[in-house]
Structure 1
Amino acid sequence: MAADAQGLPEEGLALWLTEQKVSPGVPWLGRHLVASVGGAAAGQLDFFLHPDGQAVKVFMLRVHPDFQRRGLAGVMMDALYAAYPTAWINHGWRTKEGAQWWNGYREPVPHRNVHNRPPAEWAAYFDAVDVASDKAHNAHQNSHYGLDGNRGAVYRYGERLETEAALHASAYRQVAPVHVDPGSQPLHGAARLALPPAVHAYVHDRTQDSRERATALLEHFGHGNLPRRAYWNTTRQAAFADAHHETLFERPPAGPPLTHVVFTLAPLQALAPSTAQALATSVEFQHPGDTAVDVTELAWREADRPHLTHQAGFAPNVAAAIAPVSAQQASASYQARYDEAGFLRATARNGARPFADRAAQIQAMAERLLGGRTERARTAPPPSAPPQTAPPHPPAPGQRPPGPGRRA
């Protein structure tokens, strides 16, 4: 591990492995390994993972300036080796800073580094010619800056490998990209909300009905405001991870903590392929207009309390929409249902029949109420003459008298 000048705190250091959104043309899976200290992002290791989990290509390793030279980069790299204990590791080529860091790092398992083994062992995962080129680049960096670079472990260090690399280049097996089909399964997208204190207190109050709280949250957000600049994932946890990753790299606003909300959509059967950018486990809608969707569930939690997650389903589903880029690019059906801010118009609210699915329940309740009133009328004693009382004082000007449901 690199020299630890100041040391890292024993408490508050966390490592988190999550998905990285990559180009649809990249067939390997994108991953982040994020290190946080005291709830703030301190470092990040970006890499690609082969679909079979047996090969890793490191793309970027970076540490926040406040945490450099404290051993954090080594902690993240060690964690990568531990997360994929049987995979080949390809570190690629190094910048000046990367070469200087590598000079002090000690790999936990050097024989899994493709730079340290002959191409015949790993050429099915990596192009042998590309690996030879990266090794030559790193050897030049070491020579230029006077670094050892752990050269003793590197396979045939300092020798020309063009012939051997070309010999094994044909063994490389290209991977076909896999893209999610939005019409085949539910999708989950996240939004990060700084709620007003009263709304925040209500939606996180576990003593209140979860569906009513979910309805209030959706009303506050706006049915026509489902996030456009977001990926819709195949799992709810991946959507929460997207929101958490963004929060780590931003300063939290003053007031109540951010609320991470995940909207679950029914499969989008009518979505045109040209309107979405599909990855292996997520999809992003890219067309400028709106997209009509059905929300089946809501899940939400405070950013700093992920273990307390609230969830509520809707039956029937709630009609909603992924917001258009601008009000001018909204469809006629969107404009008829939502205003320019993405909230339901009064006509849409009145036209909907919110209690249509509860007809039987409401009828049974009415019968119980009517039956109880009849029974009370049958058994009640005959009414007596009302007592003589002084007439009530008239209400003061501008004061409404108490009525049903109103307190005096």
Structure 2
Amino acid sequence: MAAEGGGLPEEGLSLWLTDWKVDRRVPWLGRHVVAVIGGRAVGQIDYFLHPDGQALEVNMLRVHPDFQRQGLAGVMMDALYAAHPTAWVNHGWRTKEGSAWWNQYREPTPQRNVHNRPPAEWAAYFNAVDVAADMARNAHQNRIYNLDGRRENVYRYGERLETEAALHTSSFQPVTPVRVNPGAQPLHGPAQLVLPPAVHDFVHDRAQDPRKQATALLEFVGHGNLPHDAYWNATPQAAFAELHHEALFAGEPPEQPVTHVVFTLAPLDRPALLVASALAESVDFDQFGDIAVEVTQLSWRQADRPYQTHSAEFTPAVPAAIAPLSARQASRAYRHRYDEGGFLRAGAREPARQPFADRAGQIQAMAERLLSSQASRARAPLPQPAAPPAAVPRLPLPERQPPPPGRRM
């Protein structure tokens, strides 16, 4: 994966800002900056973003060994600053390698780094004592490894570090976590599939009926096999992004074509049970057994062709289930409807829906009105036929004369 010439390639490098699923106990939003070269992730910054977008904390910066010491970390960090141009930035504490990198990195706007400003300015976002501890740890690392550490920018406390920091701890404003409500909105779950050639060709043929393609995909997966170990997202775009992020870090591309599928569910009828597993922008069902759901839509595309997305709606919604973590966790209702593989049992298949099944009352009322109208017409006297009109004399047609001599027809 090493770039020729000992530097980053001039073309083919892209940066992607995407979602990061963080622990539900973390009230801030998770985000990634991912560096991509040649269709593979070669670097990443993980960070937390305050819900109001005005503060962020870097959690980890890493670069693939083949691309280290080529400026990629600085490119990603510059992009992070550019993505949040007015936010306070907290870099936390650094490892030995991180301290060496920071020693040569030039911040675009060092005045937004909380280590370079007094706590009175940013203490509402970060615990001042924690920041002071990180600063002390970084200073210790710099002394050990004889590094400058950009010390000209670091804020100089007038008092002892911990004393001044303690003055501002009361300014810190904890964040109330934001949670997705699975009972009030659709959820979108991702799945990565390697389909048999015949199924793959059928579901990606744009000349086919999308509803039949979606039905074939659902039959292949199994109605009881909707993914339990995936995050169910608030938007289909986030579900597709999760699949793309996984593919970027998958190493060598698979030999067979991969299909990315997103299942869309109707709002669930047990939100109180599931709210404990909800994150800010997704829901994690991993700790639950099977969950009965209704699939309202399927979207799918080839992993290497994200610009060609197929989609089909199910009207009415199709009953299905998020698979249990193991067969032992399956409920009685699940075992009655699905076999050990998560496929519909023969007796559990939905009967063919009649097009007017839900309009029986309307049809009966219309039939009664028609019969009543027919009966009233039968009782009414028949109208007398009118006298035939007088014959109208016709003028005789003129006889056709032969053409004069010398004239042709």
3-state SS, counterpart of residue 198 of structure 1: helix
- TM-score, reference length from structure 1: 0.83
Q: Which residue of 2 aligns with 1:290?
A: 290
Distance in 2 between residues matched to 1:276 and 1:16, nearest whole Å: 30
Amino acid paired to 1:187: L
Q: Is the 8 A contact 1:275 1:286 kept in 2?
A: no
Q: Which amino acid aligns with 1:102?
A: W
Spell out the pairing of 1:235-246 with structure 2 (5 A cutoff): 235-246=235-246
1:56 is matched with 56
111-120 vs 45-54, greater mean Cα deviation? 111-120
Kindly indicate whether residue 354 of structure 2 is the aligned counterpart of residue 356 of structure 1: yes
Partner residue, 1:83: 83
* Partner of residue 144, structure 1: 144
1:257, 1:135 → 2: CA distance? 49
Change (3 A) 1:357 1:9: farther
Distance in structure 2 (CA, Å) of the matches to 1:219 and 1:43: 38
Paired AA for residue 197 in structure 1 = P
State the secondary structure of the residue aligned to 1:250: coil
Indicate whether 1:193 and 2:193 are aligned.
yes
For 2:284 and 2:341, locate their aligned partners in 1 and report how far apart those are by CA, in whole Å.
Answer: 22
What is the aligned partner in structure 1 of residue 341 from structure 2?
Answer: 341
Cα offset for 1:286? 3.3
- Measured after TM superposition, the shift of residue 355 of structure 1 is 3.6
Determine the structure 2 residue equivalent to 1:377: none
Distance 1:263 1:170, change over 3 A: same
Q: Confirm or deny: 8 A CA contact 1:276 1:286 kept in the other structure.
A: no
Structure 2 CA distance for partners of 1:274 and 1:266, relative to 1, 3 Å: closer
User: How many angstroms does 1:17 deviate by?
Assistant: 1.1
Q: For 1:193-244, what per-residue CA distance to the aligned partner results, in whole angstroms no more than 9, with x for missing partners?
A: 1112221121111111111111111111111100000111111111111111
**Structure 2 spans left out of the alignment, 5+ residues:** 359-409
Distance 1:159 1:276, change over 3 A: closer
Per-residue CA distance 1:334-379 (angstroms, 9 max, x = gap): 1122111111122222xx223424779xxxxxxxxxxxxxxxxxxx
| Amino acid in structure 1 at the alignment position of 2:336 | A
Task: Work out whether 1:19 is the aligned partner of 2:19.
Answer: yes
The aligned counterpart of 2:40 is: 40
Counterparts of 2:200 and 2:222, CA distance in 1: 16
Aligned to 2:105: 105
Maintained 8 Å contact 1:191/1:262: yes
Measured after TM superposition, the shift of residue 11 of structure 1 is 2.4
Question: For residues 288 and 52 of structure 1, do their structure 2 counterparts lie closer, same or farther at Cα, with a shift above 3 Å needed?
Answer: closer
Match of 2:66 in 1: 66
Which residue is 2:232 aligned to? 232
Check 1:152–1:326 CA distance in 2 against 1; reply closer, same or farther (3 A cut): same
Alignment-derived partner of residue 131 in structure 2? 131
Identity of aligned residues (%): 69
Q: Deviations over 1:129-153 (max 9, x none)?
A: 1111111111111111011111111
Instruction: Quickly say closer, same or farther: Cα 1:205–1:354, change in 2 above 3 A.
Output: same
In the superposition, relative to structure 1, how do residues 135 and 287 fare at CA in structure 2: closer, same or farther (>3 Å)?
closer
Cα deviation for residue 157 of structure 1 reads: 7.4
Contact 2:181 2:271 in 1 (8 A): no
Relative to structure 1, is the Cα distance of residues 158 and 103 closer, same or farther in structure 2, using a 3 angstrom cutoff? farther
Aligned to 2:171: 171
Q: Distance in 2 between matches of 1:5 and 1:98?
A: 25
Per-residue CA deviations over 1:99-157 (Å, capped at 9, x if unaligned) read 00101111011111111111111111111111111111111111110111111111117
Deviation, structure 1 residue 6: 2.0
The residue that corresponds to 2:122 in the other structure is: 122
- Tell me if the contact between 1:288 and 1:324 (Cα under 8 Å) persists in the aligned partners: yes
Change in CA separation of 1:274 and 1:310 when aligned onto 2, cut-off 3 Å: closer
1:245-280 per-position Cα deviation (integer Å, ceiling 9, x unaligned):
111111355443211100000000125526851111
| RMSD of aligned alpha carbons | 2.0
Question: Would the aligned equivalents of 1:115 and 1:135 in 2 still touch at CA under 8 Å?
Answer: yes
Determine the C-alpha separation between the residues in 2 that align with 1:291 and 1:311.
24
Indicate yes or no: 2:316 matched with 1:322.
no
Alpha-carbon offset, residue 183 of structure 1? 0.5
How does the TM-score come out when normalised to structure 2? 0.83
Question: Whole-Å Cα distance in 2 between the matches of residues 44 and 158 of structure 1?
Answer: 37
Q: Alpha carbons of 1:11 and 1:257: their partners in 2 closer, same or farther (altered >3 Å)? A: farther
